């Protein structure tokens, strides 16, 4: 990038925005599909929109140090609202848009929110419902006026009107906003992201402009991202990953963010845009693969055989070719043919034809899943980080990809493993503090300035970091062998028929597991076998489905038997849960990580049944719908034994 030097001298996001508006005024900055057509805003237009929004906010009384809640799907104006708040020295606080009203209250109270910018009527309703619990909340601004015509509360404002107000304000005080931007400093807090709350109440992580710009800079230089790159912005704005990729890096490198038409159209929109840079948690890659596999099973014999043959070729040499490693001439030829017939069209269907760099993070990715994408020529890499470290601790460099590590530390980041095996991080990307929580800040940042990630891991011989599990989740079996539940769960979850798994075994003799089947994959499988079912609960308890899952569990056991450290962690008994684990029932976090402790408590009776060797157990569970109503699901769950294998490592030694 030619303007590197100048870029790094720009110390806040509003300054970066002004820079792009001057250097590349007509370059697309933001796109959104609206009424079936992609609408584009250039950098200079975005700067104008932000100016109007910021001045409008100022007119309403938004001041330096105020927090601005941002709630909604990925909409251009919600991204611009972040700049607008920052221009005025305020702090944007994006919230998860699918959170139920009660969950939002905590963050609104904790952050002392006075101003909220929300997407639509749904979010306005959620806030109105809780106004009484948020006495600080003074103004609600909405993006989409649909359905809000008859809301006549004085504190409700359409963004259009606010921006109009701002334009007038700007005409009267043209110096005002630039003056405000000039007051911004690199170590001001740029954004507050709430942790997903796997552990206790969510905490507000305060990140400075400096930290996020450092993270963006290191990522952009690492992968040579420039203004001509395109990214699809479809992940929750409250997630650190989206903030890094769709906001910080886009603001740094000046590339284009593309907002999908709606949550349901992401696949189509992705094909239309053809992003060059892509980011998704493993779950998304998994869903895509499951969909491909289901469709291939339904395809004609010729296509199916061709697919399986060439996927075999890709498994053998695809990833090596991508890494530039030596591969035999025949394989190269076959791969080229496969690229023409299978991989190319497949990448096109997935919208990945133009992808130069794709990242996954947020959870461990199954090695086979990871290998699949690399083998069809998608340069998928892993990164490791947390909300507290701007998501950027380790990145995998091109050509040095390993399936089970997250790569060496990113430039400018220092990583250390402490005696207990916990990963510690120090560098520019670290959080300033937890909002109003000096106790938590003191707890996670030690005297030497290291941030304690809470992840257990180690460096391999090449200096790549390998993450095993959350440090506090790693336990011991009664025999003293290590028990890493996440590792086992990930092994199980890689099977397309298994959507979620929860493993238990800490201080027990053996490992048992709960399974959630994947409704799409198993439903399709059942239909092809003429197995009739009425819904999830019914399908989950079919004998045939249990047999199917047993095969998966046993295959995972066979793989675990190969690992000396983990061969004792084979799953002895399992059951298929009668309902899908759901964030609305607090069983998963909003980023869909299992809350093991909560689940163990809620389904204690099932765990007892697993360990007492019963053949079945009755259970009734309350479920919550998105609007807060409640219902009940009950079932008689069967418990099945799975075959375990003698440790292969031990055998070799003998």
Partner 1 sequence: MSEGRQIGEVILDLKNISLRFGGVKALTDISFDVREHEVRAIIGPNGAGKSSMLNVINGVYRPQEGDIVFRGKHHRDMNTYEAAKAGIARTFQNIALFKGMTVLDNIMTGRNLKMKSNFLLDALYWGPAQREEIAHRRKVEEIIDFLEIQHIRKTPVARLPYGLQKRVELGRALAAEPSILLLDEPMAGMNVEEKQDMCRFILDVNDQLGTTIVLIEHDMGVVMDISDRVVVLDYGKKIADGTPDEVRANQDVIDAYLGVAH
Q: Which of 2, 5, 146, 200 binds partner 1 (CB under 8 A)?
A: 146
Which residue's CB is nearer to partner 1, number 150 or number 171? 150
Per CB under 8 A, contacts with partner 1 among 580-599 are none
Q: Which of 149, 171, 632, 652 binds partner 1 (CB under 8 A)?
A: 149
Min CB(149)–partner 1 separation in Å: 6
Q: Which of 150, 171, 630, 632 binds partner 1 (CB under 8 A)?
A: 150
Per CB under 8 A, contacts with partner 1 among 204-263 are 261-262
Q: Which of 147, 345, 399, 613 binds partner 1 (CB under 8 A)?
A: 147
Which range in 146-154, 304-312, 408-416, 597-605 contacts partner 1 by CB under 8 A? 146-154
Which residue's CB is nearer to partner 1, number 261 or number 586? 261
Retrieve residue 447's tokens. Answer: 């005297």
In the DSSP assignment, the letter for residue 409 is: B
Which residue's CB is nearer to partner 1, number 90 or number 260? 260
Which residue's CB is nearer to partner 1, number 33 or number 432? 33
Residue 19 and residue 26 in contact, taking contact as beta carbons nearer than 8 Å: no
**Residue showing tokens 């959870």:** 363
Which residue's CB is nearer to partner 1, number 48 or number 272? 272
* d(C-alpha 412, C-alpha 416), whole Å: 13
Min CB(268)–partner 1 separation in Å: 7
Q: Decide: is 154 part of the binding site for partner 1 (CB under 8 A).
A: no
Backbone dihedral angles phi then psi of residue 32, each to the nearest 5 degrees = -145, 140
Per CB under 8 A, contacts with partner 1 among 58-97 are none
Which range in 112-120, 141-149, 200-208, 299-307 contacts partner 1 by CB under 8 A? 141-149
Which residue's CB is nearer to partner 1, number 37 or number 532? 37
Helices then strands, counting H and E runs in the chain, come out as 25, 27
Nearest to 635 by CA among 565, 575, 566: 575
Which residue's CB is nearer to partner 1, number 298 or number 418? 298
Residue 190 and residue 212 in contact, taking contact as beta carbons nearer than 8 Å: yes
Residues paired with residue 632 on neighbouring β-strands, in sequence order: 622
Min CB(563)–partner 1 separation in Å: 42
Min CB(150)–partner 1 separation in Å: 4
Cα torsion angle, 557, 559, 564, 565, sign: negative
Min CB(261)–partner 1 separation in Å: 5
Min CB(343)–partner 1 separation in Å: 25
Which residue's CB is nearer to partner 1, number 147 or number 174? 147
| Count of residues interacting with partner 1 (CB under 8 A) | 13
Other Cβ atoms less than 10 A from the Cβ of 436: the count is 14
Which residue's CB is nearer to partner 1, number 149 or number 632? 149
Residues paired with residue 621 on neighbouring β-strands, in sequence order: 633
Residue 583 and residue 500 in contact, taking contact as beta carbons nearer than 8 Å: no
Min CB(44)–partner 1 separation in Å: 27
Those residues whose C-beta lies under 8 Å from the C-beta of residue 228, and which sit 6 or more positions away, are 255, 276
DSSP string, 142-176: ES--TT-TT---TTEEEHHHHHHHHHHHHHH-TTH
Min CB(265)–partner 1 separation in Å: 4
Min CB(142)–partner 1 separation in Å: 15
Which residue's CB is nearer to partner 1, number 107 or number 270? 270
Per CB under 8 A, contacts with partner 1 among 258-297 are 261-262, 264-265, 268
Which residue's CB is nearer to partner 1, number 409 or number 523? 523
Residue 530 and residue 536 in contact, taking contact as beta carbons nearer than 8 Å: no
Site string for partner 1, 161-190 (x = CB under 8 A): ------------------------------
Per CB under 8 A, contacts with partner 1 among 602-631 are none
- Secondary structure in 3-state letters for 438-496: HHHHHHHECCCCCEEEEEEEEECCCCCEEEEEECCCCEECCCCCEECHHHHHHHHHCCC
Min CB(140)–partner 1 separation in Å: 19
Per CB under 8 A, contacts with partner 1 among 11-50 are 34-37
480-483 contacts: CB < 8 A, separation 24 or more?
A: 481/565, 481/566, 481/568, 481/569, 482/565, 482/566, 482/569, 483/511, 483/568, 483/569
Min CB(349)–partner 1 separation in Å: 14
* d(C-alpha 27, C-alpha 23), whole Å: 9
Q: Alpha helices of 173-281 — where are they, by DSSP H?
A: 176-183, 209-222, 240-242, 250-253, 266-273
Min CB(625)–partner 1 separation in Å: 9
**Strand pairing class (422-427; 451-459):** antiparallel
Residue 12 and residue 188 in contact, taking contact as beta carbons nearer than 8 Å: yes
Which residue's CB is nearer to partner 1, number 144 or number 500? 144
- Secondary structure in 3-state letters for 22-37: HHCCCCEEEEEEECCE
Nearest to 383 by CA among 585, 253, 245: 245
Min CB(82)–partner 1 separation in Å: 25
Which residue's CB is nearer to partner 1, number 2 or number 152? 152
Which residue's CB is nearer to partner 1, number 171 or number 629? 629
Which residue's CB is nearer to partner 1, number 462 or number 626? 626
Rg (CA), the chain: 25
Q: Which residues bind partner 1 (CB under 8 A)?
A: 34-37, 146-147, 149-150, 261-262, 264-265, 268
């Amino acid at each position: 990038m030619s303007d590197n030097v100048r870029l790094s001298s720009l110390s806040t996001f509003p300054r970066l925005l002004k820079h792009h508006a001057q250097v590349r005024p007509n370059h697309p900055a933001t796109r959104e599909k609206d009424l079936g057509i992609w609408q584009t805003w250039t950098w200079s237009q975005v700067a104008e929109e932000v100016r109007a929004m910021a001045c409008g906010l100022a007119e309403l009384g938004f001041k330096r140090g105020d927090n601005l809640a941002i709630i909604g799907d990925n909409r251009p104006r919600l991204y611009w609202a972040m700049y607008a708040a920052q221009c005025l020295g305020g702090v944007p606080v994006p919230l998860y848009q699918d959170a139920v009203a009660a969950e939002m209250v905590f963050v609104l109270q904790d952050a002392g929110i006075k101003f909220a910018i929300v997407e639509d009527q749904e979010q306005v309703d959620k806030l109105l419902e809780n106004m009484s619990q948020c006495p600080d909340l003074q103004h609600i601004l909405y993006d989409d006026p649909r359905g809000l015509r008859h809301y006549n509360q004085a504190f409700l404002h359409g963004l259009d009107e606010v921006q109009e107000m701002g334009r007038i304000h700007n005409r009267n005080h043209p110096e005002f906003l630039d003056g405000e931007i000039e007051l911004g400093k690199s170590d001001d807090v740029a954004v507050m992201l709430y942790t997903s709350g796997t552990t206790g109440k969510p905490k507000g992580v305060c990140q400075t402009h400096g930290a996020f710009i450092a993270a963006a800079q290191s990522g952009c230089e690492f992968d040579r991202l420039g203004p001509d790159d395109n990214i699809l912005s479809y992940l929750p704005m409250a997630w650190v990953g989206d903030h890094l990729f769709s906001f910080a890096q886009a603001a740094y490198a000046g590339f284009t963010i593309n907002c999908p038409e709606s949550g349901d159209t992401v696949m189509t929109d992705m094909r239309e845009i053809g992003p060059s840079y892509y980011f998704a948690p493993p779950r998304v890659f998994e869903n895509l693969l499951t969909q491909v596999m289901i469709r291939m099973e339904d395809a004609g014999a010729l296509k199916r055989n061709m697919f399986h043959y060439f996927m075999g070729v890709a498994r053998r040499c695809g990833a090596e070719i991508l890494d530039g490693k030596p591969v035999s001439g025949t394989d190269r030829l076959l791969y080229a043919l496969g690229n023409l017939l299978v991989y190319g069209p497949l990448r096109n269907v997935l919208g990945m034809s133009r992808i130069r760099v794709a990242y996954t993070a947020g959870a461990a990715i199954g090695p086979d899943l990871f290998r699949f994408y690399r083998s069809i020529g998608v340069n998928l890499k892993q990164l490791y980080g947390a909300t507290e470290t701007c998501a950027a601790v380790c990145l995998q460099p091109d050509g040095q990809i390993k399936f089970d590590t997250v790569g060496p530390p990113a430039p400018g980041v220092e990583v250390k493993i402490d005696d207990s095996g916990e990963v510690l991080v120090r560098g520019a990307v670290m959080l300033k503090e937890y909002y109003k929580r000096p106790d938590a800040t003191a707890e996670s940042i030690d005297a030497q300035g290291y941030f304690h990630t809470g992840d257990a891991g180690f460096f391999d011989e090449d200096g790549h970091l390998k993450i095993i599990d959350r440090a506090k989740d790693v336990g011991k079996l009664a025999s003293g062998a290590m028990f890493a539940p996440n590792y086992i769960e990930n092994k199980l979850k890689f099977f397309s028929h298994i959507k979620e798994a929860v493993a238990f075994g800490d201080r027990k003799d053996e490992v048992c597991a709960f399974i959630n089947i994947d409704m799409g994959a198993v439903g399709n499988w059942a239909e092809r076998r003429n197995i009739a079912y009425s819904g999830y609960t019914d399908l989950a308890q079919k004998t045939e489905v249990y047999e199917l899952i047993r095969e998966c569990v046993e295959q995972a056991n066979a793989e675990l038997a190969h690992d000396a450290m983990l061969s004792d962690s084979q799953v002895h008994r399992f059951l298929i849960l009668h309902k899908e684990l759901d964030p609305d029932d607090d069983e998963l976090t909003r980023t869909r990580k299992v809350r093991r402790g909560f689940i163990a408590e809620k389904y204690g009776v099932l765990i007892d049944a697993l360990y007492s060797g019963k053949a079945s157990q009755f259970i009734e569970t309350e479920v919550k719908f998105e609007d807060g109503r409640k219902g009940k699901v009950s079932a008689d769950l069967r418990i099945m034994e799975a075959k375990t294998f003698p440790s292969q490592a031990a055998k070799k030694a003998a």
